[in-house]
Homo-oligomer: A and B are copies of this chain.
């Protein structure tokens, strides 16, 4: 952790200052927790009233606001926050162990320069690992898998044979990559295992959450495209292609052979059925169920996933449903009576 002046921070993020540029900043905090020496950020109008009571020394804002704190005005405050957090804290420092003597590294494996291979890792035959990779203890990397440069694999992740991983990929603990797809041919009541001879490809700059599972393809490949970030306990089916720069929040499930475009956002616990085509920039709200193709740019919510405005009106109307039913019955009776008297 390093202390900086507000001026240094503003220079770093390309922002401007309102207040004392010599304000010393030593930490980043939330609006609630930040105190003297801290910088915080304001992006959500909902929390505007908090600006009057914050104790932070400075606040990153998109424009002028009323507050006692010094202002760091940046076009994209959350991005500026990220840059400042990296500057002040840096990313996690990893143990520098080199290739541990307690790891089991195959003679036929190739390991690049400056890699850390933790205790009790298994690096199988014909594995290729690039430069500057950090493999935490207990990781399994199966035969013929390859990993690019600058990757981090956290403890006890399992990477099956022939998986192909790009550069700057982060895989969190206990993730499973490349296990067999759920593929069986049912014949006379018996489920016969279909060899899963495809692979998983994970492109550059992907992050995979803890305990997330990505099935290998039956044939061909399951692919996670560049820049996509996948949360914890997500399940990706065999042969599914996740496009670039998607965000898949924890507990999402995407069944097999589905294709997602770029910049798709799936909320928590969303389920997407198999063999679908989800367009670019699609956003699906939490817990929704998707069972059909979705064109580019759609924002959907609910099961079935439809326009969120309609879903919210449905949610608001649902409690009236029993009453509506009663009213329909009353209307029918009254109308019958009227019809009779009019007959």
Contacts and interface: CB of A to CB of B under 8 A. Distances in A.
Contacts of A306: 319
Contacts of A197: 28, 85, 89
A286 B137 CA distance: 37
What is the total number of copies of this protein in its complex? 3
Given A172-B179, A173-B176, A220-B33, A191 B245 contact: yes
Given A85-B195, A179-B154, A321-B318, A250 B247 contact: no
Given A140-B137, A174-B176, A179-B209, A332 B338 contact: no
A184 B104 contact: no
A128 interface: no
A122 B137 contact: yes
A45 to B, nearest CB: 14
A255 B267 CA distance: 10
Given A197-B89, A233-B233, A314-B318, A273 B286 contact: yes
Contact of A122 (B29, B118, B194, B210): B118
Contacts of A158: 138, 154-156, 173-174, 210
A112 interface: no
A211 B212 CA distance: 8
A335 B332 contact: no
4 smallest CB-CB distances across A and B, nearest first, come from A158-B173, A140-B155, A176-B210, A82-B185
21 contacts: A29-B219, A78-B185, A79-B186, A79-B192, A91-B193, A104-B119, A122-B155, A136-B140, A154-B158, A156-B156, A156-B174, A172-B176, A174-B174, A182-B209, A184-B247, A191-B229, A191-B247, A251-B251, A317-B325, A318-B321, A321-B321
